Amino acid sequence: MNEPDKQDKPAEEEKAGGLEVTRRRFLSFLFGLATAIGLGAFVAPLVRYAYPVIKPEEYPKIKVASVSDVTSDGVRFDYQDVPSELIQLNNKSFAAYSLVCTHLGCIVKWEANNHIFHCPCHGGKFDETGKNISGPPPKPLTKYKISVQGNDIYVEGLAS
């Protein structure tokens, strides 16, 4: 009896138009999929860094607090779904920042006692002006444009 040996299989696949799923093709597909997922996990933070979370074309004006609400602990709010903080500076003026760390996107925390923003992930620090002063963050926090009208404080987009 003439049984087809292993070397005949590629020829049979070619005859069938190469549509047969072999173990080799399936494993190659799984390997390619795993490689793509791994590469995506590596590239995603870089893409997030390159493209800001806040969409620059949309700058709604929102009230974030009353002047009397702002304590040394600051006022947390979300701007376009981005965790943010309004603080009072040492010179008594107000400033508001995105709390998204400029290193890899962790949420920084305002430490009123030290007057700094501290990132719990890799120890990055920002001063009260949002400037990166320590650790791996490569640039300052995103600062918002604010306005004070009467007793109300508004955020109206990104500061230039």
Site size with ligand FES, rule: CB under 6 A: 11
Residues 134-153 within binding reach of ligand FES (CB under 6 A): 135-137
* 100 interacts with ligand FES by CB under 6 A: no
Tally of CB atoms within 10 A around 100: 21
CA distance 38 to 9: 33
What's the helix, strand, coil split of the chain in %, to 5?
Answer: 25, 30, 45
Q: How far is the CB of 107 from ligand FES (least distance, A)?
A: 9
If binding is defined by CB under 6 A, does position 119 make contact with ligand FES?
yes
Site string for ligand FES, 46-85 (x = CB under 6 A): ----------------------------------------
Residue 73 CB, shortest distance to ligand FES, in Å, is 21
Tokens of 36: 């793509």
Question: Among candidates 140, 149, 130, which has minimal Cα distance to 64?
Answer: 149
Coil, helix or strand for 6?
Answer: helix
Residue (33 or 46) nearer to ligand FES, CB: 46
The binder of ligand FES chosen from 70, 104, 133, 158 (CB under 6 A): 104
Residue 65 parent element (H or E): strand 62-66
The residue (of 88 and 128) whose beta carbon lies closer to ligand FES is 128
Report, in Å, the least distance between residue 18 CB and ligand FES: 47
- The residue ranges that bind ligand FES (CB under 6 A) are 101, 103-104, 106, 119, 121-122, 124, 135-137
